[in-house]
Amino acid sequence: MAREKKIYDITSAPQALTRDQAGRQKRYFISMMIRTACFILTVILPSPYRWFALLGAVTLPYFAVVIANAGRETVTRGAEVVENKPLALD
């Protein structure tokens, strides 16, 4: 009796941890640069617009952390078995 072999598709492999961490660090850095710009705009802009910049500077850290932490668990799909693929070597 022949035993069936499962074939795994390499395209379903998760992204490397170092690439994932680098991407999250880049997103967080960009968010903090936007926050810095909001603080600068709070000083420069006239009164009605100043409050929008200040609101952005105060609320952006929460969203930056949530976006930076949403990474690996949402991307990982696990290994998928390829069905009906012929084996090259047996």
The pLDDT tens digits for 8-51 are 667 766 677 788 888 888 988 999 999 999 999 999 999 899 99
State percent of the chain over pLDDT 90. 37
In a domain, 53, yes or no: yes
Residues near 21 by beta carbon (within 8 Å), at least 6 away in sequence: 71
In a domain, 62, yes or no: yes
Looking at the structure of the chain, the number of domains it has is 1
Note down the domain range covering 59.
Answer: 7-82
17-44 and 47-69 are packed helices; what angle lies between their axes, rounded to 10 degrees? Answer: 170
Least confident of 48-52, 69-73, 79-83: 79-83
Degrees (nearest 5) of the Cα angle 90, 4, 86? 50
Strands (E), 2-89: 7-8, 81-82
In a domain, 49, yes or no: yes
pTM higher than 0.95: no
pLDDT at 53: 95
